[in-house]
Amino acid sequence: MLKTIAPAEMKRVENQVMECTPVTGEQLMQRAARHVADAVDRLIRSQKAYVLCICGTGNNGGDGMAAMRMLAQADPSFQGECWVLPGKLSADAVRELDRLRRTNVVIRMIEEKLPPVPEKVGCVIDALFGTGLCRNLEGMALACVRLIKRLDAPVVAVDIPSGLNGLDGRVMGEAVRADHTITFHRPKPGLYLGQGLDYAGEITIADIGILPEMDDADGFLVLQKQDLSAFLPKRARVSHKGNYGRVLLRAGSRGMAGAAAIAATAALRTGAGLVTVACPDEVMDIVQVICPCATCIPLPDDVEQAWQILQDALSRCDAVGAGCGLGKSAWAAELLKRLIKEDRPMVLDADALNLLAQEKITAPGAFITPHPAEAARLLGCDTASIVADVPAAALRLGEMYRTVLKGACSVLCADGKMAINPFGTPAMAKGGSGDALTGVMAALLAGRAVGTYAMDDLSLMQTACALHGLAGEAAQQQYGQRGVLATDLCERLGMDFTEKPNISKGTNDEQPTFEQRSVTVIVEHKKGMRDEKDRSLVYRHNCGYVQEVLEHQNEWQDACILGVDGVVEWFEGDVAAICSDGERELWIVAPQQLRLTPDEIRRETAWLGQWTSIRCL
């Protein structure tokens, strides 16, 4: 589980590290720059592209200069130039500029106008401003941002795209649109909030060696995909539908039967053992045709008769979902008023939220999933106020409800704790997606009620949003951003996003299997060391063996560490790939966030042998 860190807190933590440990600011900068250089190298390696790095006068600029130096030192054929904004450089930036002058990188100090743009720029490093920027860009800085926008080249942003507010994701006048953002230590909230997701591109969180015990900063929780396995345990072989919860959905009305069916399908796909839809008699047949695996209870027009039927259904359910296609009739409102007084785990959405606002009633303790307009109605303000400060709005709603304030990056609040959901896609911006989320949450609430899941309220909402968003991402892979329907999303809710690679060794059935992706490598051959037997062989990377894992020949499993600069004694990371030459296997172990392609692995390990197969995990 990640946590964001506000820019001011990041600065405080860095100062704390430098004051209380032997780690220096220079060391932090070199580690940060190494990650930037590696990201750029992966982009340009195949075509040897020309790199333009545009640097500010502060330490963000120093990071960019150091990255350019590393790229030039690693490859004599590297070509690039570094532009530096006018003004007084920080001490770290002065040092890095001096070091950069000893390489073949062209350095241009910006004065009254921008230097001539190099031909065929293949990559841009945005090192203008870091997370501390809190004012609109102007002058030469603004001109540089506009130039970067015009260049047809991928952009790597150092820590945050210049012009994007690190705290709330506001664009301060104009900002760089990055393809990749390499952010350091912990993600900054502005990368997710506001316009952050549109400007940050692919976000990589780079470890710069700040130990957890030196970081006491709070922040938004950010669930990662691998965290899901802790919240969604595998099912016991001996089980029945009652083990996974019974969901009652009060949903559907004339013209809105699909909303009820989508919510029911999502609940079933998420794992609820039984789903019952209580809906008007006139739409029951439609709901059952669309979702035949759910049962339906037809509700008559008479409120008292309908309530008696609902009460009976409530006595047999473990969680309730209400609001999807509910309608705003007086009949629906009266049933909702009675329903929210019942002692059941409950999630409310859509028309249920509108009825709460319209009738001036509350449902303390319920889970709610409003979009900004619904949140505005609940809080008695305009939608613009909600959008201007989504975390503040979620916190206000969280005083009474367990809240998922939906958006491109939903903000979650329960019991004063907050989280943001990084999963999802613009393909989900379509009618019915919210109904699916209601079904997902209702299923998890029901499962928790019967003891299948052990999650607190915030973790449950994080898990629901993650499953929902990951299903949307999976649907987009097949149908594209424009073509995804809520029903496509529901179909992919059944995918197991928690599975980790099952890495087995050898063909002997008695050999142990290793089912965890995270491993510890004990380094025997350090980077730069000559092999004791073959003195012509110099190790380009740290190599060793994976502790506690045996090959079929009863030898410890060989491993090579990629994506780590410098010499290490041991390393804990993820198995990124398995290489084989037909006789032996080599595990490639890398930092958690690093994703490698087979071509990259083949190039980086060619000195170790020629692989007949490379299986990336």
Residue 222 lies in a domain: no
C-alpha 550/C-alpha 338 separation (Å) is: 62
Count of CB atoms within 10 A of residue 454's CB?
A: 11
Task: Tell me the per-residue pLDDT of 282-291, one tens digit each, with 9 for 90 and over.
Answer: 999 999 999 9
Q: Are residues 529 and 480 both part of a single domain?
A: no
CATH number for the domain spanning 546: value is: 3.90.80.10
Spatial CA neighbour of 89 closest among 73, 72, 101: 101
Print the domain residue range for 187.
Answer: 22-214
| Strand, coil or helix: 164 | strand
Shared-domain flag, residues 31 and 119? yes
Residues 485 and 572 in one domain: no
- Determine the average pLDDT of the residues in 204-212: 89
Percent of the chain, pLDDT > 70?
Answer: 95
280 found inside a domain: yes
Q: Are residues 544 and 449 in the same domain?
A: no
Give per-residue pLDDT as tens, 89-143.
999 999 999 999 999 999 999 988 999 999 889 999 999 999 988 899 999 999 9
Query: Which residues are CB-neighbours of 606 under 8 A, at least 6 positions away?
Result: none
Which run of H or of E encompasses 280?
strand 274-280
517 and 575 part of one domain:
yes
Residues 30 and 129 in one domain: yes
Across residues 22-37, what is the average pLDDT?
93
Mapped to the 3 state alphabet, what secondary structure does 489-545 carry? Answer: HHHHCCCCCCCCCCEECCCCCCCCEECCCEEEEEEEECCCCECCCCCCCECCCCEEE
Q: pTM for the complete prediction? A: 0.78
**Residue 10 domain-assigned?**
no
Residues 205 and 281 in one domain: no
- How far the first Cα of the chain sits from its last, in Å, is 21
Residue 203 and residue 83 in one domain: yes
The reply to whether 464 and 541 lie within a common domain is no
Same domain, 68 and 128: yes
Residues paired with 481 in a beta bridge: none
Q: Are residues 297 and 368 in the same domain?
A: yes
Q: Report if residue 2 sits inside a domain.
A: no
Give CA–CA dist 574/572, Å, rounded. Answer: 7
Model confidence over 171-187: pLDDT tens digits?
999 999 999 999 999 99
Q: Which amino acid is at 437?
A: L
Overall domain count for the chain: 3
Q: Are residues 447 and 312 in the same domain?
A: yes
